[in-house]
Structure 1
Amino acid sequence: MGNTFGKLFKITTFGESHGKALGAILEGCPAGLELDEEKIRLEMQRRKPGQSKITTQRKEEDEIEILSGVFEGKTTGTPIGIVIRNADQKSKDYTHIADKFRPSHADFTYFEKYGIRDYRGGGRSSARETAARVAGGAIAKQFLATQGITVQAYVSQVGELTLQKNYQELSLDLAEDNIVRCPDPEMADQMISLIDSVRLDRDTIGGVVSCVIKNTPAGLGEPVFDRLHAELGKAMLSINAVKGFEYGSGFEGVKMRGSLHNDAIVKEGDKVKTLTNHSGGIQGGISNGEDIYFRVAFKPVATIMQDQESINEAGEAVTVSGKGRHDPCVVPRAVPIVEAMAALVIADYLLLSKTNKLAQL
């Protein structure tokens, strides 16, 4: 249960961190889409481990193998099968916790639910599962590009270091110019130094990824339970280590009065727009044509290179020692994951919108 996301544009992921492979089955992608495999590989490179000194040193090239759904470079409309083979597992790094529960990991909850768990890197609960999401999301991004829709995320906070500039003041393309993926070079340097110092302290730290979706047409979303922002929230909260989601003015909006928070509606030529965008491009759960923007909070990575108190499967008190290769801060590699999940949501609602319009004829 719970391995499939989406209604029409659907992704199902499979595989474990230390298994033979991970993969995705993508359903609902329209036929005839010219698929650029190199762009999928680029997205995988952005997420892969071992890409800098502030990420885990596990070495995985994360090469994709497309098994089905593509013929002569174009999607056929049938399920697209993708496999990503694991190559650099070091399962022996986890034998010391074979019967112990790591604090703030899914070890205990998985054991309680299933009565069995794959302790090697967390098995299915590992963030390595997101490699499959990025592969599927890369295809969704290519579909959205045909509609002029773009999805860009960036690191806006690490620990207490917060980028105060609005996304409209930034050149978001600069995020790929540094290893922390912050579009402000000065703040990026500070973030990198902080993450590196935390790493040397054998500890971890959290952060925030911000995301902007541009050129989304008005009218995407469903009433009540399937609101667009609710689905975006579900998508983001399904990502490992995510602790919070806010869109538009978010929690800061509670400090404003309605007279200042309301987005005045005007018409410029044939286009209806708002003078401000505190709504974050979504009103009543439906897109209004403005930029959709949101923030995703990631906790500090649970595995730290320090001794921690815990219990084992017999309920006995034990000490858990951190070993293996882990990120001191997850947000630099989380950027493409956030983009992938956002793209999957928008692609799904775009198809739902077209279905609704056909039903009205």
Structure 2
Amino acid sequence: MEALILSCSTGGGHNAAAKAVQDALSRQGHHAILLDPYSLQGQAVADKVGRFYVDFVRTVPRLFGVVYKLGEAYTKLQEHLPHHSPVYLFQRKTARMLKQYLEKSQPDVVVTTHVFAGEMLTMLRNEGMKLPPVIYIATDYTSIPFTQEVQADRYIVGHKDIVQSFVAAGLPEWKVLPYGIPVNEAFQSRMSRPDACRWLGLDPAKRHILLSGGSMGFGLDGMIRTLLPVLEEHPDTVLLVLTGSNEKLQKSIHEKYPSPQIRALGPTDQMPRYLQACQVLITKPGGLSTTEACVSQIPMVLVHPIPGVETINARFFESHTMARWARDPEQDLADILREVLADPAPMEQAQATLQSNAALRTASLCSSLVRRKG
């Protein structure tokens, strides 16, 4: 079976979910290509689209929240409007190039982890192109604006309790499958905490807190300052700060906080091991990062959600006892961290209920839909 997986680089989660499905298909003996459709116009265009989104969210998150609310309002009104959304119409040029790619490559199934690519496929279908089975994967814990415009054969969502948000948006309930959000199989491996520490060169005798700003690096310096009293109270605790590819930030943290209890980490491909080695993860509530943490069963404290979808993610995880949400990190992050360190068991037990095999189930669904069509 030949599979095409479409994603876009607006934050790291969409690509991570797409890669997880690609790997699962490969393990089942299929061939899967991962493509950013905007790269059909040149990699510079794909990079520009991704940069625009990331810069917009990072620099004016409140404005992004307003735009998200407008998208929600448009979604509610859309069935009464005669035209497709501006987001749909924006995809026209790339959709034409995607059509040429599909005609040449002839995949047996198409999976998309991004609404933009879903809109492109829908545009082609509306224009009369015969498409193979299409699977749309939602990478957040709600139906985001414009999802209802995506015409897919099946929709993979993160949890059974959010199915109705997709049905309310106008999707047929029988097409909405709560498989979970696909994550790399490495997050499912069960390495003991001491072994994970030794793997990473960490001291197994110490407690480790992992602080992440996600792929966009939100508010790390301020959170470090907030957590200094906790580190002073617990000299056996080390704060590991993920700075990603931001070398300037990594250097700044090294210089500003020379304490051996604070370590700034650069880019890493060992995220599964860090989640297994640490006692608590402090992170913004991206759909993928929170799912990876739950699959790894590491207690979470959520901070700095992007207004809109990540606020909904935070609310979901908090309401299901899978995380705590520090709504005002400067005031409540330290106290919440103390509470989680003192009693992590309820959170770990709740996290164990989240589906962890979504990538394999999605790969099997691809095969099933192709066989059914054949």
User: What is the TM-score normalised by the length of structure 1?
Assistant: 0.25
- Give the TM-score taking structure 2 as reference length: 0.25
Report 1 or 2 for greater relative contact order, CA contacts < 8 Å, sequence distance ≥ 6.
1
Q: Which structure dedicates a bigger proportion of its chain to helix?
A: 2
